[in-house]
A and B are shown apart, each in its own frame.
Chain A
């Protein structure tokens, strides 16, 4: 007879389940409710049912076909979100990689100061910076221009990226730079041929971080952009709240579509994201 069974083991498993089940419920209820709304017809959605009377995909059809007053710019707005996210990702990557290379590998004098400036920026609560940022963008004449949001997002994303890249750069073997210098490589050749190829995993993590930050951002878009055809999808979702009887099921269907790309990217790059985040966010 198997002696693997013991009451002690059963009790351990039961205790783990007692944690696991509430954790799953807690996590999934808001997500399930979102999905429930997205696949319900209007009257079924607001009848408080736990499962839709007639599950339907027609809400998605309405959203994708822009067949509602609130959704006439859906594709333009999702395009804006994409443009802002990709531009933020690329510009942040460029700015942060250059800075990290200069500080870590070229041993720029004053590099520590630059790094500290970046770190202080990282510690300004985003909603606090938003107030003077709004006024600044107005002074620069950039309000209602998608560049204002891109530049604001680069400002917020770059410090963390510089810091993570600097930490990763410091770990590269110094002999590589030595060898490149002895072979007569220029700084730019060292950057292009040695540094960037070796940093690819960190660059992916950091670029993805900046991209997701910009895609997910609500507040800055809400402040800096207001024209229907220039706002990202996040702001358009918030605009549903301006009326009391908005089509909530369409809002949830749009929200579901909006949430898919970042979730997919997150899970696809999970390995990079998790190690990057845990290595970067908190150095104990």
Chain B
């Protein structure tokens, strides 16, 4: 479609010297370029320059918190994202059903995405409070036993952070997959029904082949964004107990707050070998 547009454009009537069209073409990208240079190029360059010293990395690898954080991050990204994507794909099949009550459910389901994350994350944090949280109060009422100290157990705490992340972003990805499913021609399903295909066969041979590309693109994009999810961990666990639930997003900020800027940058640079291939794949897919 670009080629058609370009052939019409080039022999246009106004082409004297650096035409006003070319002038304005350049002038109008200047605002964005200024933003990019001042707030992306300069910070990234400056950050890399700060992270140039090998001793920062030695210090980073000596920090026991970093090792734990690296594992947490990998677990967070692999488990939370894939779990979320599989659920979203499944739920999109539920939300394309035409029922009046499913339409209403869809409106409610979008809430976590529509509201800011702080109030809801703090709400969950309070639910999990060991002394006065509603969960342990109900456990006590029903069984007479004290419930676990949820967020004081690193594994449970990280698990709840992942659930929080899924709670927040599941609606978005479900919507994406609903759009993907609605783009599949209905006749294919009708024909399959006539041939007596089971629900699984319809999914396997109609839905999945046309959704596969979308599914993988979404998974990669979600992995990149999930690496930057600061709120789900910081606001729920604060990185605790004993700094055992940090992910890279919160660890970098922790070093920054402790005035250890070089360590903060080093912890981000260390993630680049994992991030850049994902970014590369996304760039390839989006600039087709």
Contacts and interface: CB of A to CB of B under 8 A. Distances in A.
A120 to B, nearest CB: 7
B119 A106 contact: no
Contacts of B120: 30-31, 34, 259
A178 to B, nearest CB: 6
Q: Main secondary structure on chain A at its contact with chain B?
A: helix
B28 A102 contact: yes
A37 B123 contact: yes
B14 interface: yes
A152 B43 CA distance: 11
A284 B214 contact: yes
A28 interface: yes
Interface string B45-76: 01100100000000000000000000000000
A188 B24 contact: yes
Given A48-B134, A118-B36, A170-B2, A278 B123 contact: no
Contacts of A127: 227-230, 248-250, 252-253
A193 interface: no
B247 to A, nearest CB: 9
Contacts of B241: none
Contacts of B271: 128
A139 B42 CA distance: 11
Interface stretch (B91-99, B149-157, B189-197): B91-99
Interface stretch (A1-9, A60-68, A248-256): A248-256
A145 interface: no
A155 B40 contact: yes
Nearest to B45: A132
Contact of B265 (A16, A34, A106, A131): A131
A58 interface: no
A258 B118 contact: yes
Interface residues of A, number: 104
Interface string B229-267: 111001100100000000011101100100001001100
Nearest to B12: A181
B86 interface: no
Contacts of A28: 108, 111
A280 to B, nearest CB: 10
A53 interface: no
A282 to B, nearest CB: 5
Interface stretch (A69-77, A199-207, A261-269): A261-269
B145 interface: no
Interface string A229-265: 0000010011011000000100110011011001100
Contact of A219 (B42, B46, B47, B231): B231
B29 A98 contact: yes
A120 B176 CA distance: 21
A138 to B, nearest CB: 10
B122 A252 contact: yes
A197 interface: no
Given A119-B287, A126-B228, 6 more contacts: A24-B109, A102-B24, A114-B29, A132-B50, A237-B119, A248-B126
10 contacts: A37-B123, A109-B25, A121-B40, A125-B224, A131-B264, A170-B5, A259-B116, A274-B179, A281-B176, A282-B217
